[in-house]
Amino acid sequence: MTAPQRMNSFQSNHSHRHFAQALGAFGIGLGTLELLETDALSRAIGVPRSDHNVMRAMGVREVANGVAILTDALRPAWMWGRVGGDIMDLAVLGQALVSPMSRPNRILAAVGAVAGAMLLDVLCSIRLSRDSKLSMARAF
């Protein structure tokens, strides 16, 4: 590998690591909010009180995954874990949407926010996976 190629590879890994770290920190913040302000967040997004334990479990998952990302931001599996969490979040919101106690407009806004975060998570996951494969190919 030439020096410019090594430099481009370093810059790519560096920027993707920062992108992953930002998403991991976001997850820790969101998870903390889900754990500490379950009632307020549930009311804000229109989720019934019966889903509070699910909201807390989602918070634990967000914090744990965020810590894993901050610990090893270049490992694609942690970012793909965020994507899996986004899918679970969308399923929970879909289930809450059909509840007679829900606030559909608020839940749909939350679905939009999760979908936006999921787009960023997928983009970062793909980039980290591509970089990981390139690094492995260069080793041989």
Domain spanning 3-139 has what CATH number? 1.20.120
Residue whose C-alpha is closest to residue 71's, from 8, 115, 63: 63
pLDDT tens for 82-115 read: 999 999 999 999 988 888 888 899 999 999 999 9
Q: Residue 5's pLDDT is what?
A: 45
pLDDT tens for 33-64 read: 999 999 899 888 888 777 788 889 999 999 99
Q: Residue 134's pLDDT is what?
A: 56
pLDDT mean across residues, the chain:
86
Task: Please give the full DSSP string across 20-53, using - where no structure is assigned.
Answer: HHHHHHHHHHHHHHHHH-HHHHHHHHT--GGGHH
